[in-house]
Amino acid sequence: MLPAPILLGIESSCDDTAAAVVAGGELISSVISSQEDHAAFGGVVPELASRAHLRAVIPIVEAALDRAGIAASDLDAVAVTRGPGLAGSLLVGLSFAKALALSLDVPLVGVNHLEGHVYSLFLENDTPPFPFLCLIVSGGHTQLVRVDEGFRHDVLGKTRDDAAGEAFDKVAKLLGLGYPGGPVVESAAAGGDPEFVSFPRTRLPGYDYSFSGIKTSVLYHLNAMSETERRRHLDGHLEDLCASFQQAVVDMLVEPVSRAVQQTGLRCIGLVGGVSANRALRQRLESAANAFGGRLFVPAPIHSTDNAAMIAITAHYKLGAGDVSPLSLTADPALALT
Ligand code: KG4
Ligand code: ZN
């Protein structure tokens, strides 16, 4: 018998359909189905994504319940991502979750996807003490946040244009490496020279970020060559280009966090979201945290990218605080962290 409360989490904000069961605050099962349909397009196609969620949501929920060894009737609550994300994709998960909560007569808990990334840290045994700084780096968001107990967040800085993950995806597309770009760029960068090209680092006042310049710099670097030169360059120096790009992005991400640690005195740092799977970023931020006598907290790589375990664990704490949602809950594609 699993400890109460038993929660099902559902995530469908972008191109992963995921379901997970958390019982008594412990992760029991987690299933993720990543859509393959988008690779040929070099990015997520919203219409294809929502159709793929429709096909996947029931089998994925069933798989999460099966792996947890429970039936739907054992659930005490149903949690779901309500935004931010793609409208059509969010609606599939939200409609399914509402119908399930209604039929089981259990509470519905709507979760902000960004809050889910922050609380992915609480899936680990070693959790950060409040308040802490959290760098959220995903395909759609790059934000530096102060996180206080009770789901209170103060956004210290965010990207003014592209997100860090988006820069990885766009540069991977330029280099003909496919989608999603982060993992392929990271593995290509492994044998490369990070000093090969010195891409300019954008530094903004405060803690804001900008990643559109670095993407353009990579484009200009390639456009300065003839077609033949470019092909030869990519054949011989792909690793070096990826390593140089990755180092520039890591530098731009880490510098404002180091300043925030000094200026706020908060020395515990969380690193979450898809780009937090990047080992170079983890290592650099860990060194930065250690240099200030602080610590870095990261989720397991499987919980860095989109998953439902983070939605279920966030809902566990919300439910504990009596924070449940009405069945009239709507999807909010532009939901912000407040
Ligand atoms: O959090 P996530 O799964 O979805 C969003 O909420 O956006 O993040 C996906 C992003 C993609 O841009 C992907 O390229 C990036 O995370 N990513 C990485 C790595 N793994 C995933 N970026 C850099 N290095 C990685 N290893
Ligand atoms: Zn995400």
| Binding site membership of 277 for ligand 1 (Cβ less than 6 Å) | yes
Distances (CA, A) of 163 to 35, 125, 170, 238: 21, 29, 10, 23
From CA 192, how far away is CA 177, in angstroms rounded?
A: 15
Phi, psi angle pair for 244, to nearest 5°: -70, -45
| Binding site membership of 180 for ligand 1 (Cβ less than 6 Å) | yes
| Binding site membership of 178 for ligand 1 (Cβ less than 6 Å) | no
* Model confidence band, residue 43 (pLDDT cutoffs 50, 70, 90): confident
Residue 141 is predicted with a pLDDT of 96
Residue 42 is predicted with a pLDDT of 76
Residue 323 is predicted with a pLDDT of 97
Q: How far is the CA of 328 from the centre of ligand 1 (A)?
A: 31
Q: How far is the CA of 229 from the centre of ligand 2 (A)?
A: 38
Q: How far from chain centre, in Å, is Cα 121?
A: 12
293-314, pLDDT tens digit by residue?
999 999 999 999 999 999 999 9
Inter-axis angle of helices 181-189 and 279-291, nearest 10: 80
In this structure, which amino acid lies at residue 138? S
Q: Which ligand is closest in space to the CA of residue 44?
A: 1
The three-state secondary structure class of 224 is coil
| Binding site membership of 116 for ligand 1 (Cβ less than 6 Å) | no
196-247, pLDDT tens digit by residue?
999 999 999 999 999 999 999 999 999 999 999 999 999 999 999 999 999 9
What Rg value do the Cα atoms of the chain yield, rounded? 20
Q: What is the pTM of this model?
A: 0.96
Ligand 1 atom at minimal distance to the Cα of residue 117: 1
* Position 37 pLDDT exceeds 90: no
Q: How far is the CA of 238 from the centre of ligand 1 (A)?
A: 20
Q: How far is the CA of 273 from the centre of ligand 1 (A)?
A: 7
The residue whose CA is least distant from atom 22 of ligand 1 is 182
The percentage of the chain sitting over the pLDDT mark of 90, rounded to a whole number, equals 95
- CA neighbours within 13 Å on the CB side: how many for 25? 9
| Binding site membership of 299 for ligand 1 (Cβ less than 6 Å) | no
Residue 335 is predicted with a pLDDT of 98
End-to-end Cα, the chain, rounded Å: 37
